[in-house]
Amino acid sequence: MLYILLGEDEFSLHANLEEIKRGLGDPALLSANTSVLEGQFTPDQLRLATETIPFLAEKRLVIVQGLLGRFEPPKGRPARGKKAAPPSAPRNDHTPFLEAISKRAPSTVLVLMDSEIGRNNPLLKELSGRAEVRSFPRPKGEELKQWIRKRVAGEGGTIAPEAVGLLAQLVGGNLRLMASEINKLALFVSGRRIEESDVKQMVSYAQEANIFAMVDAVLGFNPAQAERLLHQLLQGGASSSHILAMLARQARLMVRAKELKRQGLPDVEIQSRLGLADFPFRKTLEQASRYSWERIKDVYRKLLETDLAIKTGRYGDELALSIMVAELCQPVGQRA
């Protein structure tokens, strides 16, 4: 049997792998008859793993990670003045791997696991007709909310609709992280319904921490770090409007913290007025002390320009945010 498990939802993907394993008999015997291949393995290594006969068991399991991704066609158009590679010049030759897969022993259950793979992937095209292909995209919208409700019910709990919406917004489609947060919430509420206030108290730090780190990277003129953190937020399911709102909120908090500090208020009073827990309060004070008024004004200007660029369709969400981060990581006088 050949399975192809694809998608960015690695939590559901691995849960499906465990389901396949449960259908292959005694776990102890299966463990002794399981091989995992990842990285830059060769066709011969794949052939050896898939042609080996199981020991004291009916089936042998071979799990292959990342093979299809090695044959993904280049994305995007070629740069001006450069010709695209001809179709007869593939990125790599997938034929030896295809032959190894085709000649696997009848007792071998082969599972190919990868992230999102395009329809033009040559190895996927060859195998899709003879494999059970299962796709696991990151859930979003109502699908994500249904998953949250089902997961909470599975923990023996209930959750308010407002809490579902906020949890989906804060954590996004990373189901492994979502499962962890739901588990913590279930323990926290100890049998009662999970409310929106519980989510605010227990979960909001996750994206706040990344926002603080991204602001730090921008302040330190570190575009690579800022860009990486931006993509972590996007991959975690955060929308562009939510990221802009979080950045605007942080800029507003820094303005208030700077002004209250200027007035000579003690930290305890400032924290009370800002309504922040210890960690975000300490980070806000630190950033407020390092940002000049002109720098904060510049952040506001770029947030406004980015919001307008997205809403008018001038740029797509991700591109607009990337441009904003790149420009904020340059000193004002050095911008084009």
Chain-centre distance for alpha carbon 93: 30
Residue-level pLDDT at 277? 67
Show the domains of the chain with their CATH numbers.
2-73+92-135 (3.40.50.300), 141-202 (1.10.8.60), 205-334 (1.20.272.10)
Average pLDDT over residues 55-79: 81
Cβ atoms of 229 and 213 closer than 8 Å:
yes
Between these two residues, 206 and 27, which has the higher pLDDT value?
A: 27
Q: Rounded CA gap, 240 and 21, in Å?
A: 39
- The pTM of the whole model exceeds 0.85: no
Percent of the chain with pLDDT over 90: 38
> Going by DSSP bridges, is the β-strand pair 2-6/60-65 parallel, antiparallel, or unpaired?
unpaired
Between these two residues, 123 and 177, which has the higher pLDDT value?
A: 123
Residue reference for tokens 């700077």: 258
Residues 6+ apart with CB under 8 A from 249: none
Mean of the per-residue pLDDT values for the chain? Answer: 85
Average pLDDT over residues 27-38: 92
Cross-strand partners of 2: 110
Is the pLDDT at 271 greater than 70, yes or no? yes
Residue-level pLDDT at 284? 87
